[in-house]
Amino acid sequence: MTTIELPWPPKALSPNARVHWAQLARARKQYRMLAFVLACKAGVLGGQVKGVGRLKVALTFYPPVMRHRDKDNLLASMKAALDGLADALLVDDRQFDPEVSIAECVKGGAVKVELYV
pTM: 0.91
Strand-pair category, 2-7 with 110-116? antiparallel
pLDDT in tens, 66-89: 889 999 999 999 999 999 999 999
Is residue 90 within 8 A of residue 46, CB to CB? The reply is: yes
Give the pLDDT confidence of 4-18 residue by residue, as tens digits: 999 999 999 999 999
Sorted by where each starts, the structural domains of the chain and their CATH numbers stand as 2-116 (3.30.1330.70)
Mean pLDDT to the nearest integer, 38-55: 79
